[in-house]
Chain A
Amino acid sequence: MIPVSFFFILSIILFVLGIVAFFAKRDLVTMFMAIEVMLNAGNLAFIALAKSSGPIHGQVIVFFVITVAAAEAAVGLAIILLIFRQKKTIKTEDMRLMKG
């Protein structure tokens, strides 16, 4: 018997940690991992609310989120690989094409 609000607070903490990782890190691959952490925090909130309010639809949404995250990871990593081939770096400081 665990209060569902504990899961909710955990999902808040995970989401904020994802935001911190996104802004504190300087390489594209780790920033992409931070996006996955934020998606997972959202999934945890969906499943916690599905548990507390009864219907199963929250879990179906999480299923769709996981499949879309898989597709997004494939395309995003392909783009990161292309950037690395062109610039030989994945650091965000070195991408200043629009800086003028």
Chain B
Amino acid sequence: MGLFLFFLLASICVSSILAMIISKNQAHNALFLVVAFASLGGLFGLLDAPFIAAVQIIIYSGAIMVLFIFVIMMINLRQGIPAEKKRWIFYLSSLLALILIAELVLASKGTFSLLGKTGGERIGSPSDLGRILFSDYLYPFEITSILIVAALVGAIVLVKKREKE
């Protein structure tokens, strides 16, 4: 059952990212990415990380993709992106991608037998995560809040229309 779910979610994720690479329409790209991130949330759930799965679906496929779709709406390209003329770039990049996948799998092949299987004792319940976040990781947590406030102010100041003098 778990193996079936894994292959279902993994194929949804990989195929929607492939569709994002092939498609020309930016709004479709954003919607494909929502599907990919939601299925990644399901994969996190399979790996005993229910809190991270919920955060992934709420923040990534909720908040961040809404931001992307807002920006695509504001940019509103009338004619769209014209089709790519050079076909050889596509073939060359897919060849290089296959080579890179093979290299990375070969490089990490020795660790695969050490990784074990899912199941067994459960880790990553939200209470454990909250306890460790507010004890061991208290300073990074607070610094992250400062970072988010800085990003908020920075984004507003960047996009705000200057008043004419």
A contact residues vs B (CB 8 Å cutoff): 1-10, 12-21, 23-27, 29-30, 32-33, 36-37, 40, 43-44, 47-52, 54-57, 59-60, 62-64, 66-75, 77-82, 84, 90-91
Give the residues in chain B near A59, CB-CB below 8 Å. 49, 51-52, 123-124, 129
Count of interface residues, chain B, beta-carbon cutoff 8 Å: 78
Taking the closest CB of chain A, its distance from the CB of B49, in whole angstroms, is: 5
Give the residues in chain A near B52, CB-CB below 8 Å. 43, 47, 59, 62-63, 66
- A-B pairs with beta carbons under 8 Å apart, 26 shown: A1-B118, A4-B115, A4-B117, A8-B112, A10-B13, A12-B101, A13-B14, A14-B14, A17-B21, A17-B97, A19-B97, A20-B93, A30-B26, A47-B49, A48-B115, A50-B123, A51-B47, A59-B124, A60-B129, A69-B64, A70-B63, A70-B64, A71-B151, A74-B67, A74-B151, A81-B75
Are A77's CB and B67's CB within 8 A? yes
Assembly CA distance A2 to B48 (angstroms): 12
Give the residues in chain B near A25, CB-CB below 8 Å. 21
Are A70's CB and B101's CB within 8 A? no
| Chain A interface SS verdict (over half) | helix
Are A14's CB and B17's CB within 8 A? yes
B contact residues vs A (CB 8 Å cutoff): 2-3, 6, 10, 13-14, 17-18, 20-21, 26, 29-30, 33, 36-37, 40, 43-44, 46-49, 51-52, 55-56, 59-60, 63-64, 67-68, 71-72, 74-75, 77, 81, 84, 89-90, 93-94, 97, 100-101, 104-105, 108, 111-119, 123-124, 128-129, 132-133, 136-137, 140, 144, 147-148, 150-152, 154-155, 158-159
Are B97's CB and A16's CB within 8 A? yes
Assembly CA distance A19 to B94 (angstroms): 11
Are B158's CB and A78's CB within 8 A? yes
Assembly CA distance A13 to B159 (angstroms): 35
Known: A2-B117, A14-B14, A71-B147. Is A56-B21 also a contact (CB below 8 A)? no
Are B60's CB and A66's CB within 8 A? yes
Known: A16-B101, A20-B21, A33-B29. Is A73-B68 also a contact (CB below 8 A)? yes
Interface centre among A8, A33, A48 (most CB of B within 10 A): A33
Query: Given known contacts A27-B81, A75-B158, what 4 new A-B pairs fall within 8 Å (CB)?
Result: A4-B115, A5-B113, A29-B75, A74-B155
